[in-house]
Amino acid sequence: MVDILKPSSGRKKDPFKWVISGVNGVGKTTLCTQMPKPLFIDLEGGTGYLDVNRLEAKTYADVLDIFNQIKEKDHEYKTVVLDSLDWFETIMEESIVAEAAQKKMGIEDIADIPNFRGYSLSQSKMKSFLNLCSEVVQTGVNIALICHTAPKEITSDPLIPAHQKWVLKLREKNAGKVKEWCDFLFFATYDRGIEVKGEFFNKQTTAKEKGERVMYTSGVDKFDAKSRVPLLNEDGEPVLPLKWDAFKETYIKAIETKEEAA
């Protein structure tokens, strides 16, 4: 029985539940190598050029087995990185299709499973996986899920004109579960900025081809991003260098400021 007269207090110092998304090639995987003692679960073969500890998983069952071992065994890892979450969703749904195909002829895709049950199973399995991730976090290990993004046309907000937004490359309801689960969802990209050439009537302004690698800590109408603690740079903007130390220092500062204000 829960005793309402004996609540806990203060900030819980649990490990982080991270999701890092963003443009291709910006350095999402490289960022995760900077996290404390990482173990990579490589589903796409994308860590071969990095000097990291990795396990290559081929199936949905492989991933679950690895996470259960991390939860139950003694080890030195402080961070588990899944590369990538959208590929995990793919192999998870392949397992759903394979199981359904054994029971009924003609099922080759999740859409072939009657009564939309395939999509329901996808949501249920994603929820179970995120619960497993939370159990790993409770053992003192950070979780970092790398996810690709895809453009989506947004027309549902009556206060904002129709526009394109970069969202997690997952089924919409699965993406919603992931966004609810994580503590931090960052969008990594290039800070292209503006380059000015010429003067007076010859002045031309163009976007830089590539600028510094950054991560946005709060969402705008162009991409998904969030943080349970406001993370701002020195100019008060929700954007940081794409480096683990930049996150850590800003996070500690934000927590100290919040505690002083209280």
Question: Per the domain annotation, does 206 fall within a domain?
Answer: yes
CB-CB contact of 223 with 167 (8 Å) = yes
Question: Per the domain annotation, does 5 fall within a domain?
Answer: no
Rounded to 5°, the CA angle 117-123-125 comes to: 100
The count of domains in the chain is 1
- CATH number, residue 226: 3.40.50
Question: Per the domain annotation, does 2 fall within a domain?
Answer: no
Question: Per the domain annotation, does 8 fall within a domain?
Answer: no
- Taking the chain (262 residues) in runs of 10, the rounded mean pLDDT of each run is 57 81 93 97 89 94 98 97 97 97 93 95 98 97 97 77 89 97 96 56 50 89 91 93 96 78 52
Q: Which domain holds residue 202?
A: 17-261
Question: Per the domain annotation, does 123 fall within a domain?
Answer: yes
**What is this structure's pTM?**
0.87
Question: Per the domain annotation, does 9 fall within a domain?
Answer: no
Question: Per the domain annotation, does 6 fall within a domain?
Answer: no
The pLDDT score that the predictor gives to residue 258 is 61
> Residues near 225 by Cβ (< 8 Å), separated by ≥ 6?
185, 186, 187, 216, 217, 218, 219, 238
Question: Per the domain annotation, does 251 fall within a domain?
Answer: yes
